Structure 1
Amino acid sequence: MVSGDGLPVSGLLTVLRNVVHLGREMGVVESPITADLGYSWRPDKPACYPRGLPDSRYPDFLRVRKDTPAASDGLAAELLALREEVAAPTGRGPDWRAALDARIEAVAEPYEAYFRDWFAEEDVDWVWALNMTLSDAVPVTLALHRAAAGRWGPGRRPGGVLFWDHDLFGSYAVREHGARVYPVAPGEVTPLPGGEPGHLWAVVSDDLAKEAAGYPTSAVPTVVPNVLPTIPEGGLDARHLAFLRGIGVPPERPVVVAPVRVFRVKGVEISLALLRAVREESARRGEPAPHLLVFGSMAEDPEYAAEVRVAAAELGVADAVTFLDGVPLESHRDAGGAWRLDEIDLLRVAAATGGGVFFTPNRTDVESVGLGPALAAVAGVPCAVTGFAALRAVYGDDHRLAVVGEGERGLAEAARDFVALTAGNRSGDGEVRAALARNRRQMARFFPEEPWRRLLERMTEPLDGRPVRAAVSAPEAEA
């Protein structure tokens, strides 16, 4: 597996975990999967560049490489400069293009050798390439294409590369210093799926498939919705109680989770303002005040993380929020013996304490799916959400949500709705429980497993029934 995100934990990797579990149940995926998480080509994630965080712990199904194939003193600056160049308007003349091609080639060459040797050494059947179509590191994507062309295709062994994209150019309007990081469409030097034999392309939504139809490639992506986790029902287990004791939260207090990265477009500051409004509404109604758990690493975007901490203090909720600083792919005890809970366990805590989920992106144009409402639904808890563009396209008009509107009035109205839902869920209110049960049933329709089953079977058929030996490559991304 190769990931373009450059992060040790993200929503992308938790979905990968769910797909791997499905593939192992089907008997078509062997583990551990060797993975390159993009650390060496994402200097815009400085805490993880170039070898990841020193204390990162990975689940048993994932064996993470930390190679630096093109290491040099100037590589970080060159990668950032190339990202900016390929996002710039095209048509600047042959001299510009020749110079750009030469710079891309200088970085691509050692990565091509790295991928080629890796795939041969481990006898890889398929590479899962996560979010590698975005132009974070065009030389690395080009190298992956070339290594694949030399290994798979007509007259060669079966298998290839599955490009699995959760974000594409037009719909992922992330900004740095006020400017878009990615162009609205792929540039002339951006490698796209379909350029080589052995390519498969999958995207997570119909809207992304429609966007991809306008790209200059013959490849047509398959829509494979995200695979959701199964959240066990029941009360708090010993590890959950130990975790709550460790962060100073009594088990009688409702826990609300914000399953997002601490990254500017994720709108953690809105969740904090909503937390204050929800706590005020809870006090007015005589309901217990909730505690908020924010998933993301504080090291990914230190400037924004500092702003978030200041906002928590100014809003008066600093003692009512815990920044988890990254959620592992599997629950475990850290070196000091404290429990680090995974997404599934944290959702269990939210459900068992009568809490819920906050999902509050501060831009409408960065979420292609937005899994917060889905995670709330499978856990059987309410969700408060801002109205991002894909919300109703993904979840429909009858999915019961507390939608956060504009300004203080919008926060207050959403808080009243959310508190009514959480209080009703705790007390067994028939109407609220029925709405949450309907939300959960809808997930089988909105996020079916069958497309992934068909895709895994399609990938396995040419291999004479052998389990797929998958290497995964993924970019740095969202929770």
Structure 2
Amino acid sequence: MRLAVVCCDGVPVSGLLTVLRNVVERGIALGAVEPEVHADLGYSWRPDKPCFFPTGPTAAGYPSWMRVCDQAPPVRLPAAELASRFLSIRDRVAEAHQLGADERDVLRGDIDEIARTYRPYFTAWLEEHRVDWLIAVNMTLSDAPGVTLALHQAAEARWGSGRPGGIVFWDHDLFDSCSVHENARRVYPLTPNEFTPVPGRRADERWVVITEKLASEAATYTAGVKPDVLTNLLPHVPPGPLEPRHLAFMAENGLDSDRPVLLAPARIFRPKGIEIALTLLAEIREQSLAGGEPPPYLLVFGQLDEDPAYAAELHEHAHRCGVADDVLFLDGVPVATFRDARGRWRLDEVDLLRLAAADGGAVLFTPSQPDVESVGLGPALAAQAGIPCAYTAYDAFTAVYGDRFRGVHVSTDPEGLAAAATALRAAMHARRRSTGRYAEDVVNQAVVEERFPPDAWDGFLLELADALAAPGPLTNEAGERA
């Protein structure tokens, strides 16, 4: 089957896109997915990601099968005015309960105007690439309701008459569970309203979420329609020694092989709490030097351009903590490892996990806000690599990982940070001394395999492929699937 992807996140690299990579590559291996997937990553309607609006970055490490769109729909407004329009719509939708009747009419007209621009764009895009199933990632949240409306309309135009296939809405966050604030205002309404199109209303739609909690929330949206729950598909992290690309990456970035590598697999996004990871690194450094051990490095995944102001604060914080020389801001981890225009290696998530595992490292996962993460994949990635994880408390942790997962809890007061540093160093030492699999790693890997079953997506992907055999307008005049 021919898949395409529309993602609302508006960034070229993210943990979500690596999960997408895992799903697509599993589908390709099953023989269910054709190895050419066209993708629109939302650059043209996410002006809150200003460095990527409206056509994305000049280069990024996409997998060989991914064809990323770098064109925006033709809009007559200047970019600055268009950005203002998108953000104004988003903010008014979030506060729709406070609007009067006239203001609601104006808002509805503004949303419809955006939809009129994007509907022909999506319609032509789906036809050009002869898409069987469209994966719509995080399109339910109200970042751009006019674009979401247009996507629903384009899907209806393509599949509404009975053509096999359709649209799969794949939501990793929903309204109540994504408590993001900007300037002390909530970015999304607590529940959908008349301006926020939601899935579950047409036969050619499928709806997938990543946790039972999200499924229960979604069931309140559209007369009890409950989406399928498919947990995130984790990457396989091969064991074994480092390969030449890993060693070249270390040399290019001045990383000493005698020092452990810690990973902070999170975006440069304030609720992710990267400053906590930096403070914890400083405590680990102090304890390591006092014990005559080499201090670790910290590699931060996120793309600095996503939030330049927060990125600047992180650089300042690293200097204040005395760890500026121990931190490598990767400025975005690509979906697939590649060499950039300068010939330098940019390692993907799997290769970075291999690096940390080989050097006796760990994962730091330190969200600063408890009610933003719907899963929080940091602990799962650590388990896949067989390395320890230190994490701050967040609401979804127990529901996702249960009470058997073994890690280092981080409390952000000075005593708590010191205790976490001591415990994490002990866990790292234990793994370096172990001649086989460390006991806690065995437990964590079992928990992760149970909570994130690796074959969970197989049946769903094969079901989508099988649905294309249903009677319908499968061919065009040339006898090809249209």
Quickly name the TM-score band, shorter chain normalised: over 0.9
Aligned to 2:67: 63
Q: 1:465 to 1:227 in 2, by over 3 A?
A: farther
2:448 to 434, 438, 443: 443
Aligned to 1:16: 20
Q: TM-score, normalised by structure 2?
A: 0.94
Matched to 1:434, the amino acid is: A
Over residues 426-461 of structure 1, what are the superposed CA-to-partner deviations in whole Å (9 max), with x where a residue is unaligned? 01188x811112111222101013331121122122
CA contact (8 A) 1:35 1:63 kept: yes
Pairing 1:20-419 to 2, within 5 Å after superposition: 20-71=24-75, 72-73=77-78, 74-90=81-97, 92-153=99-160, 155-419=161-425
Instruction: Determine helix, strand or coil for the equivalent of 1:357.
Output: strand
CA contact (8 A) 1:255 1:291 kept: yes
User: How many Å apart are 1:293 and its aligned residue?
Assistant: 0.2
Matched to 1:324, the amino acid is: L
Over residues 17-51 of structure 1, what are the superposed CA-to-partner deviations in whole Å (9 max), with x where a residue is unaligned? 00011101111111220000000000000000000
- Higher mean C-alpha displacement, 436-445 vs 129-138: 436-445
Cα RMSD for the two superposed structures: 1.7
Q: 1:441 to 1:124 in 2, by over 3 A?
A: same
Over residues 67-106 of structure 1, what are the superposed CA-to-partner deviations in whole Å (9 max), with x where a residue is unaligned? 2114321211100000011111327443222222211111
Alpha-carbon separation, structure 1, partners of 2:163 and 2:39: 21
Aligned to 1:476: none
Matched to 2:109, the amino acid is: A
Alpha-carbon separation, structure 2, partners of 1:239 and 1:28: 31
User: How many Å apart are 1:308 and its aligned residue?
Assistant: 0.3
Identity %: 50
Q: 1:91 to 1:267 in 2, by over 3 A?
A: closer
Instruction: Determine helix, strand or coil for the equivalent of 1:211.
Output: helix
- Higher mean C-alpha displacement, 240-249 vs 2-11: 240-249
User: How many Å apart are 1:464 and its aligned residue?
Assistant: 2.0
Matched to 1:108, the amino acid is: A
Alpha-carbon separation, structure 1, partners of 2:166 and 2:466: 13
Instruction: Determine helix, strand or coil for the equivalent of 1:249.
Output: coil
Over residues 314-335 of structure 1, what are the superposed CA-to-partner deviations in whole Å (9 max), with x where a residue is unaligned? 0000000000001111111111
- Higher mean C-alpha displacement, 396-405 vs 34-43: 396-405
Instruction: Determine helix, strand or coil for the equivalent of 1:299.
Output: helix
- Higher mean C-alpha displacement, 253-262 vs 55-64: 55-64
Q: 1:217 to 1:113 in 2, by over 3 A?
A: farther
Alpha-carbon separation, structure 1, partners of 2:213 and 2:291: 41
Instruction: Determine helix, strand or coil for the equivalent of 2:357.
Output: helix
Alpha-carbon separation, structure 2, partners of 1:380 and 1:107: 47
- Higher mean C-alpha displacement, 327-336 vs 370-379: 327-336
User: How many Å apart are 1:219 and its aligned residue?
Assistant: 2.8
Instruction: Determine helix, strand or coil for the equivalent of 1:150.
Output: helix
Aligned to 2:438: 433
Matched to 2:265, the amino acid is: P
Instruction: Determine helix, strand or coil for the equivalent of 2:318.
Output: helix
Alpha-carbon separation, structure 2, partners of 1:445 and 1:57: 31
Matched to 2:464, the amino acid is: M
Alpha-carbon separation, structure 2, partners of 1:329 and 1:394: 24
Instruction: Determine helix, strand or coil for the equivalent of 1:151.
Output: helix
CA contact (8 A) 2:388 2:407 kept: yes
User: How many Å apart are 1:465 and its aligned residue?
Assistant: 9.2
Alpha-carbon separation, structure 2, partners of 1:274 and 1:91: 42
Q: 1:217 to 1:123 in 2, by over 3 A?
A: farther
Q: TM-score, normalised by structure 1?
A: 0.94
Instruction: Determine helix, strand or coil for the equivalent of 1:43.
Output: coil
Aligned to 1:423: 429
User: How many Å apart are 1:298 and its aligned residue?
Assistant: 0.5
Over residues 219-244 of structure 1, what are the superposed CA-to-partner deviations in whole Å (9 max), with x where a residue is unaligned? 32111000000001011111111111
- Higher mean C-alpha displacement, 396-405 vs 57-66: 57-66
Over residues 155-205 of structure 1, what are the superposed CA-to-partner deviations in whole Å (9 max), with x where a residue is unaligned? 421111100001111111111112211111112210000133311110011
Question: How many aligned residue pairs are there?
Answer: 465
CA contact (8 A) 2:164 2:470 kept: no
- Which structure 1 residue ranges, 5 or more long, are not aligned? 470-479
User: How many Å apart are 1:217 and its aligned residue?
Assistant: 4.5
Instruction: Determine helix, strand or coil for the equivalent of 1:63.
Output: strand
Matched to 1:459, the amino acid is: L
- Which structure 2 residue ranges, 5 or more long, are not aligned? 475-482
Aligned to 2:477: none
Alpha-carbon separation, structure 1, partners of 2:412 and 2:69: 44
User: How many Å apart are 1:388 and its aligned residue?
Assistant: 0.6
User: How many Å apart are 1:218 and its aligned residue?
Assistant: 4.7
Over residues 328-354 of structure 1, what are the superposed CA-to-partner deviations in whole Å (9 max), with x where a residue is unaligned? 111111111111111000000000000
CA contact (8 A) 1:152 1:197 kept: no
